[in-house]
């Protein structure tokens, strides 16, 4: 049984006070929730106040990116050790907005994944196709390239501690959502791909999340699918009441 994960990606939102208030509200609302792993990923500037607001709770702190080098002349970047020092346990890697707006490549995601694992961070590796790629019916080819290139050189033992997030780019921030059947199809394909890479035992330990306009009214349908192990939530994670309802999808 794979414990589900509900992760909130706050993206470039929330000043420090706003982030601390949101974290404190989530802590109160989610108190007592069991059987679901909760992660929140604020912007770098808000890591410290969110860490303080969550101190002693079961909510995990994640970051939205990292650089693969330990230190050096990399202006504007942040290292895995810096994230650990800030209290992070998770980190989002290869998000489509970084791939398609900022030019992040599969090779860069691979380096970041290895750096996260080497520093004891749980990577949430994002994969997914553009609208035109889905229309061209090459979704599986795109996802296969994202997964195989990201995990190149990663051992089965290390892969077992990772998380994959399938995010169809056409459904991020658009209000469109893959149907549970569409999402399950790609998740099942991804699980089979991981089985091919690492064997069934390892593939069955890797949680595969769905991301793309996840909301309280569609989470139950998504989570009913066999290979969907949670959600990477964008806009709805900035509304405490919505994120609470998503996290409590079993109730």
CA 25/CA 162 separation, integer angstroms: 28
CA angle 180, 181, 186 (to 5 degrees): 100
Residues annotated as catalytic are 95, 167
Side-chain-facing half-sphere of 17: CA atoms under 13 Å? 0
The SS3 of residue 232 is: strand
Q: How far is CA 241 from CA 32, 57, 167, in A?
A: 16, 18, 23
CB 214 within 8 A of CB 177: yes
d(CA 148, CA 6): 24
Alpha-helical runs (H) found in the chain: 16-29, 47-54, 80-85, 96-100, 106-118, 131-135, 139-150, 156-159, 180-198, 200-203, 219-223, 240-247
Query: 250, 249, 210, 217: which is closest to 233 by C-alpha?
Result: 210
Between CA 106 and CA 151 the distance in angstroms is 10
CA separation for the pair 114, 103 (Å, rounded): 19
């Amino acid at each position: 049984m794979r414990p589900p994960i509900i992760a909130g990606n706050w993206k470039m939102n929330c000043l420090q006070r706003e982030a601390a208030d949101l974290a404190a509200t989530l802590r109160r609302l989610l108190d007592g929730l069991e059987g679901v792993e909760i992660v929140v990923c604020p912007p770098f500037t808000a890591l410290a106040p969110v860490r303080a607001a969550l101190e002693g709770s079961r909510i995990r702190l994640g970051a939205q990116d990292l650089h693969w080098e330990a230190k050096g002349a990399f202006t504007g970047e942040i290292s895995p050790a810096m994230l650990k020092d800030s209290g992070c346990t998770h980190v989002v890697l290869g998000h489509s907005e970084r791939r398609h707006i900022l030019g992040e490549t599969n090779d860069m995601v691979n380096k970041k994944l290895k750096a996260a694992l080497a520093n004891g961070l749980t990577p949430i590796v994002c994969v997914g196709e553009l609208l035109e790629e889905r229309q061209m019916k090459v979704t599986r080819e795109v996802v296969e390239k994202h997964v195989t290139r990201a995990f190149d050189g990663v051992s089965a033992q290390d892969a077992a501690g990772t998380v994959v997030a399938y995010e169809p780019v056409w459904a991020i921030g658009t209000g469109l959502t893959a149907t549970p059947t569409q999402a399950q199809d790609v998740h099942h394909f991804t699980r089979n791909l991981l089985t091919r890479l690492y064997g069934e035992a390892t593939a069955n330990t890797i949680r595969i999340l769905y991301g793309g306009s996840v909301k309280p009214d569609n989470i139950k349908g998504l989570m009913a699918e066999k290979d969907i192990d949670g959600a990477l939530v964008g806009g709805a994670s900035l509304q405490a009441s919505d994120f609470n309802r998503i996290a409590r999808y079993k109730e």
